[in-house]
Amino acid sequence: MNNISSNLCAIWGRPANSMLGRSLISKILASCSEEMLTLFQSARLPDKCETSTEASSSMNNAVSEVYDIIVKMNSDTIPIQTLLEALLNLCVVGNAVVVSRALRILHSILQNLLTHGTRSNQRNNVSIETYVDNNMEIERNNQEHSSALLNTPDPEEDGLHIGNMFLPSTFWTPFFTGVLQIALKYSEEGIRVDALSIMILTVRTSDSKGEREKFGFISVMESLHQLLQKENALLVKKHSVHLLFLLLNCPAMLKMLCSGGKDGSELMETVGCENEPQQAINSVLKDLSECLTCEATTSLELKLCRLVVNLLAFIASSGKLGYEVLLGSVTAHSFLELTMEVLASQMECKVDFSTEVHELLNERYLLMREVLILLNRLASHAMFSKPTLEVLMGSKRCAGLTIDIANRLPQRSKYPLRQLNPQMANDLADLAQKFRSRVYGFLEEQQHSTAERCDTGASGKPPRVPR
């Protein structure tokens, strides 16, 4: 690893011991030096699967172009945008091995640029959203293998050439679209996860109120539908849901989803998509429901379920149209019913203590907590309380689950709370007790209303109103 870094530093005319030096591009090269070496070596190796000499030549030319750009950047004549575009072009013409390495280099470059506050149009590109999944496996892994090489320097000592590192706002939309096409082209889990990680960074870079509209709502929804299919790996689905969450931080996109595409003519004109928006939206909503219906027993499955629940809570918080998404049924059951089934299944799921029990219990606690918070918010809402509880009590199966949860979950001494530490158990028990009080309050009100109707029917007269 040190030899690779020394060679890359030599290309730049810098001594090997300056790997932690002041230039941002030096840090970028050092952080992804292994990927670069593999990338450059791959251009020299024959590809047994490659049937087209022309295609192989195109890939080798693209690799050579990336190499030449890296060398020329030392003279400050080549902007970082040129390197990013060359790497993206390499993803278009390269084989799976080359694409995988190129994507990792792209991710490392973007992460370093955002960490060091590269600006676009004199504004900070880093936009921290209301929701950020701090457990993202890809981002965590990248940070772990490069954290020893990357320290945030003083801006005055960094040697960051703002002119060279500048990325205009017009760069992000075609870049995002290009990476999205790469994710759809290749079915390998690693490539799709890396591509989604890059898109997540790109979306976080953009302005949530304006620039994200330009990514194209319908085309993105159709693409996410493909990435959320059952045959995709769990990590691909998780990153796809995370990307959707960030995109919906754009008010126009959230409005489009909640209205079924009826509100957002301006966005539709910008996208220029011929397909019906309702179909694309329903497809993604169905995919989200399938993420909930799968029995979550592993840590990653639990994280995926929790992320979907968080996304649904965010959609519901947008108002009446968002709440109606939870009540709507793109499958046999509404999202509200599915979240209740998720909660019930986690109450019954046993833990194998020979496995990573602590992580599983923690993820199960977090999932159950998010579901209870969502249910309590809806069940106590001034406008949505009654329709929420009517849905939960509307079918025999859902009503049975609701009553069972309301009765059992507040009891700290019984499963599943007895397996949690006292703080977690008390937290869930308190949330469950609040939900229980709302459920039984609703049932008492229903019984009272039924009794009044019976009294009115028996007498044939309306009850007297006291003066």
Q: What is the rounded CA–CA span in Å between residue 280 and residue 218?
A: 7
Cis omega before residue 79 (within 30°)?
Answer: no
> Model's pTM, two decimal places?
0.80
Q: Which of 91-100, 324-333, 367-376 has the largest mean confidence?
A: 367-376
Spatial CB neighbours of 273, under 8 Å, sequence gap ≥ 6: 216, 218, 219
Give the number of other Cβ atoms within 10 Å of residue 133's Cβ. 18
Containing 241, the helix (H) or strand (E) segment is: helix 234-247
Q: Are 207 and 250 in contact (CB under 8 A)?
A: no
Task: For residue range 344-380, list pLDDT tens digits in order.
Answer: 999 887 766 555 678 888 999 999 999 999 999 999 9
Tokens of residue 288, six digits? 């989200």
Both tokens assigned to 172: 């992000």
Q: What is the pLDDT of residue 378?
A: 95
For residues 104 and 115, is the Cβ–Cβ distance under 8 A?
A: no
pLDDT digits (tens, 9 = 90+) for 295-324: 788 899 999 999 999 999 999 999 999 999
Q: Which residues on neighbouring strands pair with residue 232, listed in sequence order?
A: none
Is there a contact between 190 and 100 (Cβ–Cβ < 8 Å)? yes
pLDDT tens-digit series, residues 25-46? 777 778 888 888 888 887 665 5
- Alpha-carbon distance of 291 to 204, in angstroms, equals 24
Q: What is the average per-residue pLDDT within 128-144? A: 39
pLDDT value, residue 86: 94
Q: Is 1 exposed, middle or buried (0-12, 13-18, 19+ CB in 10 A)?
A: exposed
Rounded to an integer, what distance in angstroms lies between the CA atom of residue 267 and that of residue 264?
5
Count the neighbouring beta carbons within 10 Å of the beta carbon of residue 431. 20
pLDDT tens-digit series, residues 103-127:
999 999 898 888 776 544 433 433 3
CB 429, CB 412: distance < 8 Å: yes
> Has residue 102 got a pLDDT over 70?
yes
- In the prediction, which pLDDT does 416 show? 72
Q: What is the pLDDT of residue 129?
A: 36
